[in-house]
A and B are shown apart, each in its own frame.
Chain A
Amino acid sequence: GENVGLHLPTLSVQEGDNSIINCAYSNSASDYFIWYKQESGKGPQFIIDIRSNMDKRQGQRVTVLLNKTVKHLSLQIAATQPGDSAVYFCAERFGGAQKLVFGQGTRLTINP
Chain B
Amino acid sequence: KAGVTQTPRYLIKTRGQQVTLSCSPISGHRSVSWYQQTPGQGLQFLFEYFSETQRNKGNFPGRFSGRQFSNSRSEMNVSTLELGDSALYLCASSTTGDGYTFGSGTRLTVV
Contact = CB atoms under 8 A, between A and B. Distances in A.
Contact of A42 (B44, B87, B92, B104): B104
The winner among B35, B37, B103 for most chain A CB atoms within 10 A is B37
Contacts of A105: 42
A52 to B, nearest CB: 12
Nearest to B105: A43
Q: Interface of chain A, helix or strand or loop or mixed?
A: loop
Interface in B3-45: 4, 6, 31, 33, 35, 37-40, 42-45
A104 B105 CA distance: 18
A10 to B, nearest CB: 15
Contacts of A88: none
Interface residues on B, range: 20 to 34
B81 interface: no
Interface residues on A, range: 20 to 34
B23 to A, nearest CB: 11
Interface string A36-48: 1000011111100
Given A99-B45, A104-B42, 5 more contacts: A2-B37, A4-B39, A5-B40, A46-B102, A100-B100
Interface of A: 2-6, 32, 34, 36, 41-46, 49, 89, 91, 93, 97-105
